[in-house]
Amino acid sequence: MDYKIAVIPGDGIGVEVMNEALKVLEIINTKESIHITYDIFNWNSDYYLQTSRMMPENGLKQLKEYDAILFGAIGDERVPDDVTLWELIMPIRKSFQQYVNFRPIKLLKGMDTPIRNQSTKPIDFVLIRENAEGEYSNAGGIMFAGEHRELAIQNNIMTKQGVTQIAEFAFSYAQKQNLTKVTNATKSNAIIHSMKFWDRIIEGVAGEYLDISYEKYYIDALAAYFVQRPQDFQVVLATNLFGDILSDLGSAIVGGLGITPSANINPGGEFPSMFEPVHGSAPDIAGKGIANPIAQIWSLALLYEQLGRKDIHDKVITTIEALFINKVNLTADMGGTASTTEVGDSVCTILKSL
């Protein structure tokens, strides 16, 4: 089967880690029946400084023709962060109806957790974040700018359709994976309009999945439970903001942002889904050759899973675990001294042998 994907390396370490992921892709092309070709789009902060745009006017139209998008990282101190976010990543997520942000929180073999006295039960759950509305709706504004009465309004928009579809995805995913529990991250005791609306709709969907148990926790308590007993969770469902925060906390307990991937999924397949590491462009280490490429490589593995090749995803995970177990070529964030390229080369060597 042949596929074509769009590759957007982005800024900073995004370019460096993307190079390693593409080496893995080429190895898979030689070993498997699936074959992926790609086009690289250098839409980044340099492009913005040259054109005053983060992507061309017809950028979304170009991307729509691909089977998937592999994204690196974006962000540069020369360009405001809200520009790089709202003129590149957000238009892709929203225009392509990628309303599911899927983030595995899994402690891989060979990787240590900073949590002491960890249970023998594995840490292995997914965080499903609503990705199209909620707190990141960009609705609001500043009034009376510069005056003593200046005020800011940022609206949190939740729709019945939006909450229903993310809840249905979470429960359906749990059912398909033979999981038994979905956890709702809420704060409806204090945010009494939107979060009670969120809870009510999710509880309605939960009632349609009698084989899946349902629980809800307030976000502050849930953050503590992520640290105290992360092994108890299976599927965690969260709003845009809560999911953003919890996923970084989850990353920390399983090895750090350099390891954790994410997928922005259009479940219906009408538009391409986008796969990217959780980490940012890390300008402080960009160009030094020490960035961890594992999150980008794992994001590529999620792309294969979305294309129907979970076997390839699992093979890549086995490869990464073998790297962690032998502890030879690891980057500094994992306690090693290897370069980005050395880690990528080691992954390719192990993958070839499987």
For 262-318, how does the pLDDT look when each residue is reduced to its tens digit (9 = 90+)? 999 999 999 999 999 999 999 999 999 999 999 999 999 999 999 999 999 999 999
The pLDDT value given to residue 113:
85
Q: Using only C-alpha atoms, what is the Rg of the chain?
A: 20
Residue with structure tokens 């307030």?
A: 218
Mean pLDDT is lowest, of 204-213, 273-282, 327-336, for 327-336
What is the CATH architecture of 1-104+266-354?
3-Layer(aba) Sandwich (3.40)
Question: Do 304 and 134 contact (CB within 8 A), yes or no?
Answer: no
Q: What is the pLDDT of residues 17-59, one digit of tens each?
A: 999 999 999 999 999 999 999 999 999 999 999 999 999 999 9
What are the structure tokens assigned to 318, written together? 């086995």
Residue 62, CA distances (Å) to 7, 39, 40, 65, 98 in order: 12, 11, 12, 6, 17
Averaged pLDDT, 224-231: 96
Identical fold between 1-104+266-354 and 113-254:
yes
What is the domain partition of the chain in residue ranges? Answer: 1-104+266-354, 113-254
Segment 218-228 mean pLDDT: 97
Contacts of 34 (CB under 8 A, 6+ apart): 1, 2, 3, 28, 304, 307, 309, 312
Q: What tokens does 60 get?
A: 């979304």
Contact indicator for 332, 283 with CB cutoff of 8 Å? no
Average of per-residue pLDDT across 91-105: 97
For residue 139, give Cα distances in angstroms to 14, 95, 196: 29, 16, 20
Whether 223 contacts 241, CB under 8 Å: no
Residues of the chain with pLDDT > 70: what percent?
99
- Over residues 107-147, the pLDDT tens digits come to 999 998 888 767 778 999 999 999 999 999 889 999 999 99
pTM as predicted: 0.95
At residue 120, the pLDDT reads 77
Token pair 């709709």 is at which residue?
201
Sole residue written with tokens 């949190």: 156
Question: Which fold would CATH assign to domain 113-254?
Answer: Isopropylmalate Dehydrogenase (3.40.718)
